[in-house]
Amino acid sequence: MGCRYHFTTTRIDITVNLSLKAKILLLTVLPLIALSLTISWLYQRQAKELAYQQVAVFEENLMAGRREALKNYTLLAMNSISPTLEQLENGMERSSAEYRIKHQLRGMRYGSDGYFFVYTQAGTNIVHPTQPHLEGQDLIDLQDENGQFVIRDLLDIAESGGGFYQYLWRKPTDGNDVNKLGYVIQIPALGWMMGTGLYVDDIAKEIALMEQKVANNVRKSFWASTILLIVTLTTVVLIVTLVNMHTTQLADQHLQQLANRFVSFQVIQRRHFARELHDGINQLLVSAKLRLNLANKQWPERQALEHQTKAVEQLDIAIQEVRRISHNLLPVLLDDLGLEAALHGLLDELEEQSDITTRRRIRLPRERLPDAIEMTVYRLVQEALTNIHKHAQATQVSLSLTASAQQLVLTMGDNGCGFASDEDSSGVGLMNMRERVELLGGKFSVRSRRSKGTLIKAAFLLNPEPGLARDPELSKESK
């Protein structure tokens, strides 16, 4: 019989050039990497959240202690001036009461930077032990470095019932503007705002130090987990590579054989099924029809004749259906006369059923191609012609099929309406065509533009290896 052609099942993909071994390795390692990274990320996130929660709790506890202290200091100050306020209510002159209260508050100091201050409702300072030059000045428009109107805000808080306020103010011990937590209340009898405050720059330093420690701990944990992850992944990659070096080589060979036998098995089954339908069921139906015709001539009753007539019609339909199924499963023209004759038959049928003209260039070797490739090419052309007839609005179709010692190339084009690249390129028909080609290790491409027509190209590798072109069972069946 001479040289046979054998097709390889190794997929040719320009964009993804990975061997089976690399793919298996990736499938093994990628889930482990993803899981490890996820666990590491969750651990780092939870560690950071927990650490910053601890910092926040620590800061809140410190601030709560300072707030409680400020309330107590203010309460002590009010207790100390309460007798004077009572005397004011009992008739003491206001100027004397104001002088005595100012004198008392100026002398009340605590710690190294603790003092009391007093302002009128108009924002004029009347008591300031550490900055006496401010007394008598209108400070209602005073702003700190952050742009806060300090005295205005303190007056508003005192008028609303008293409360806390954080701002920047000069620290007596070093003369710098630092964060201060103030607490103010009103003295209704005099219309004054009295307050005190604690500098919280030491809290900021403690918090910054604690945050630095937390960041260092988190960073150390991150690098430790990263090193552990790298060591683990390296070990896994080495083990998987060593275990699969030989296995993947065998898997490549088995995969090629499996794909070849799978397609060949489909062809065998279709051929068997088509033969059985044609030679078995079809013959029985024809025989039944002949017997019914004889009965129709010999049985004169009208009702029986009507039933027999309907039976004959149904048998005709069944015969046509069986023939259609047989042709779809395995075209007789392809099986008996070969691919070239089958393709000419499809093109002739298109010209008969439409006004489309065809141009054909079919150059095939003398020896028949593998059954799987012949069936795939036939179905590609059949599907393409169906789409052209239904949707393309074309007047001309060109088909080129050429074979060399290395490959078989199919090119089909039309001058129809075409489609945009993002519209129909993912349709079911084109997907089926692509899958058929790629199953045999071929390459498939579609190029189309609106009003410019469509061009389809498929290429199959052919390796001339005697005795491997067709499955032995297929060769036996074709005989």
| CATH number of 381's domain | 3.30.565.10
Is the pLDDT at 392 greater than 90? The verdict is no
Kindly state the average pLDDT of the residues 261-277: 67
Q: Residue 413: which residues within 8 A CB-CB, separation 6 or more?
A: 397, 398, 453, 454, 455, 456
Instruction: Assess if residue 210 is contained within a domain.
Output: no
Please count the residues of the chain. Answer: 479
Top-ranked range on mean pLDDT: pick from 92-106, 191-205, 220-234:
92-106
Kindly state the average pLDDT of the residues 406-431: 77
Q: Tell me the pLDDT band of 246, cut-offs 50, 70 and 90.
A: low
Instruction: Assess if residue 78 is contained within a domain.
Output: no
Say what angle helices 94-107 and 20-89 make with each other, to 10 degrees: 140
Going from the C-alpha of 131 to that of each of 171, 173, 175, 207, the distances in angstroms are 10, 12, 11, 30
Tokens 């039933």: give the residue: 307
Q: So what's the pLDDT on residue 49?
A: 80
Q: So what's the pLDDT on residue 300?
A: 62
Instruction: Assess if residue 387 is contained within a domain.
Output: yes
Higher pLDDT, 106 or 478: 106
381 closest CA partner among 418, 421, 350: 350
H or E element in which residue 409 lies: strand 407-414
How many distinct structural domains can be found in the chain? 1
Instruction: Assess if residue 350 is contained within a domain.
Output: yes
Q: Tell me the pLDDT band of 464, cut-offs 50, 70 and 90.
A: very low
Q: So what's the pLDDT on residue 428?
A: 64
H or E element in which residue 15 lies: none
C-alpha gyration radius of the chain? 48
Q: So what's the pLDDT on residue 305?
A: 64
Q: So what's the pLDDT on residue 330?
A: 63
Q: Tell me the pLDDT band of 287, cut-offs 50, 70 and 90.
A: low
pTM for the model: 0.40
Going from the C-alpha of 320 to that of each of 59, 235, 326, 368, the distances in angstroms are 89, 65, 10, 30
Is the pLDDT at 83 greater than 60? The verdict is yes
What b/e sequence results for 268-283 when a residue is b if at least 16 CB atoms lie within 10 Å of its CB, and e otherwise? bebbeebeebbeeebe
40, 232 contact by CB (below 8 A)? no
Instruction: Assess if residue 385 is contained within a domain.
Output: yes
pLDDT, mean over the chain: 78
Higher pLDDT, 276 or 86: 86
Terminal-to-terminal C-alpha distance of the chain = 12
Higher pLDDT, 135 or 51: 135
Q: So what's the pLDDT on residue 177?
A: 87
Handedness of CA 308, 309, 314, 316 (dihedral sign): positive
Span of 67-71, 241-245, 365-369 with lowest mean pLDDT: 241-245
Kindly state the average pLDDT of the residues 64-78: 90
Task: Give the distance from CA 306 to its chain's centroid.
Answer: 66
Q: So what's the pLDDT on residue 242?
A: 73
**Whole-angstrom distance, CA of residue 222 vs CA of residue 208:** 21
* Helix locations, 108-200, DSSP H: 150-159
Top-ranked range on mean pLDDT: pick from 13-22, 222-231, 450-459:
450-459
Q: Tell me the pLDDT band of 202, cut-offs 50, 70 and 90.
A: confident
Domain range for 430: 337-478
Strand 443-449 and strand 192-199: the pairing is unpaired
What b/e sequence results for 71-97 when a residue is b if at least 16 CB atoms lie within 10 Å of its CB, and e otherwise? eebbeebeeebeebbeebeeeeeeeeb
Q: So what's the pLDDT on residue 159?
A: 92
Is the pLDDT at 299 greater than 90? The verdict is no
Count CB neighbours of 408 within 10 A: 25
Kindly state the average pLDDT of the residues 194-206: 84
Which amino acid is it at 239?
A: I
**Whole-angstrom distance, CA of residue 448 vs CA of residue 420:** 7
411, 457 contact by CB (below 8 A)? yes
Tokens 């409680």: give the residue: 68
Say what angle helices 302-329 and 282-298 make with each other, to 10 degrees: 160
Q: So what's the pLDDT on residue 214?
A: 75
Instruction: Assess if residue 145 is contained within a domain.
Output: no
Kindly state the average pLDDT of the residues 446-454: 85
**Whole-angstrom distance, CA of residue 377 vs CA of residue 411:** 11
Higher pLDDT, 155 or 19: 155
Is the pLDDT at 115 greater than 80? The verdict is yes
Q: Helix, strand or coil for residue 143?
A: strand
Strands (E), 380-452: 396-403, 407-414, 443-449
Q: So what's the pLDDT on residue 59?
A: 76
Q: So what's the pLDDT on residue 12?
A: 37
H or E element in which residue 330 lies: none
Helices (H) and strands (E) in the chain — how many of each?
A: 11, 12
The residues that bridge with 199 in the sheet, in sequence order, are 180
Phi, psi of 380 (to 5 degrees): -60, -50
Higher pLDDT, 463 or 131: 131
Q: Tell me the pLDDT band of 286, cut-offs 50, 70 and 90.
A: confident
Q: So what's the pLDDT on residue 313?
A: 74
Instruction: Assess if residue 358 is contained within a domain.
Output: yes
Q: What percent of the chain clears pLDDT 70, i.e. is strictly above it?
A: 74
32 closest CA partner among 220, 219, 228: 228
Q: So what's the pLDDT on residue 474?
A: 35
Q: So what's the pLDDT on residue 167?
A: 92
454, 414 contact by CB (below 8 A)? yes
